[in-house]
A = this chain, B = another copy of it.
Amino acid sequence: MVRRISLAHGEGGELTHQLIQHLFIQSFGHQDQTQFDSAILQGPFENIAVTTDSFVVNPIFFPGGDIGKLAVTGTINDLAVSGAIPEVLTAGFIIEEGFPLPDLKKVVHSMAAEAEHAGVKVVAGDTKVVEKGSVDGLFINTTGIGRITGEHQLKPETIREGDAVMISGTIGDHGVSIMSARQELGLLNEVQSDCASLNHMIHKLMQEVKGIRIMRDPTRGGLATTLVELCEEFHCTVEVDELAIPIRDAVHGACDILGFDPLYLANEGKLVLIVDRASQQQALNLLNKHPLGTEAKVIGQVTAQGNTAGKLHVRTPIGTTRRLHRLSGMLLPRIC
């Protein structure tokens, strides 16, 4: 029996799943809120979506971004993939005594710039400072609120056999950029984090493409864990083609050296979506025209629907098929 929290409880994989199911959902009782990355509110706040995320990435500056940009994009993306238009954010800072003020300024300016770029407002904040050694530098919580409009209704219950599974670009970039920033790869690697706000691209997609069943951003736990969760939640089987998944050579290289599987590496600016086969080409064209979707690809399809146990299969380059599970154990702590 688990008596202590381990790093794996925060990796977005199996143990995180168990903690959420057995402690948080049981205590706070909102089983119905698990369909999307944001909670879709009811009653007085109908058509409002809310999501929260704490960012503990180490180091706080990395190729392609920093903890501030990440804190904005991460929360914006959770709203956007839930079909909401992100409108406002709150920002809570926990800062270690002695933290350099110029670094804090850099991070805050980076947040402000990304928020402006994405068209959201940071409306409330909080600052706590703790003694040296009680926190590693700087942690940021962002909570986001978005609007669900008529055109933004996702219908995961309409997922059916033959639907296309798509990814908006290369996977694993964020994971490798963090490893690289930690100098675990020496000077070998120049991969930038993909850290980006997807809301404008998603908004366009949802306005123009009618057959989008569900969207997710494959962050902690990577593409594989995200797809396993979708399969389990919506009782479908998905088969992806390993060779169709866009992966940079540098990411492949880093994974080969370190023994990681890019399918489980975190992404911070990628969109996975399941689309009606009839809309697949339209969605792909639209994504490819957007700067954040130039390398979007169809990577697989829904091969069965309605079976109680959802499964993710991957077709390997040698033609065999294997089943993938959610991330289990520890991969990369403090990736976001």
A62 to chain B, nearest CB (A): 16
Return the chain B residue nearest A23 by Cβ.
B108
Asked if A316 lies at the interface with its beta carbon under 8 angstroms from chain B, I say no
What separation, in Å, do the CA atoms of A123 and B49 have in the docked complex?
10
- How many residues of chain A get a CB closer than 8 Å to chain B's CBs? 79
Asked if A31 lies at the interface with its beta carbon under 8 angstroms from chain B, I say no
Interface of A is mostly: mixed
Which among B51, B98, B115, B121 is the interface contact of A124 at CB below 8 angstroms? B51
Return the chain B residue nearest A43 by Cβ.
B87
Asked if A134 lies at the interface with its beta carbon under 8 angstroms from chain B, I say yes
Q: List 21 A-B contacts (CB under 8 A).
A: A4-B97, A4-B98, A4-B100, A5-B95, A5-B96, A5-B104, A6-B97, A19-B127, A29-B112, A39-B124, A41-B88, A41-B123, A50-B90, A50-B145, A51-B124, A53-B126, A54-B92, A54-B126, A56-B128, A133-B133, A133-B136
Given A39-B90, A43-B87, A52-B92, 6 other A-B contacts at CB below 8 A?
A10-B128, A20-B125, A29-B112, A45-B145, A92-B141, A134-B136
Query: Hey, which bits of chain A sit against chain B, CB under 8 A?
Result: 2-11, 16, 19-20, 23-24, 27-30, 33, 38-39, 41, 43-45, 48, 50-56, 58, 87-88, 90-102, 104-105, 108-109, 111-112, 115, 121-131, 133-136, 139, 141, 143, 145, 147, 333-334
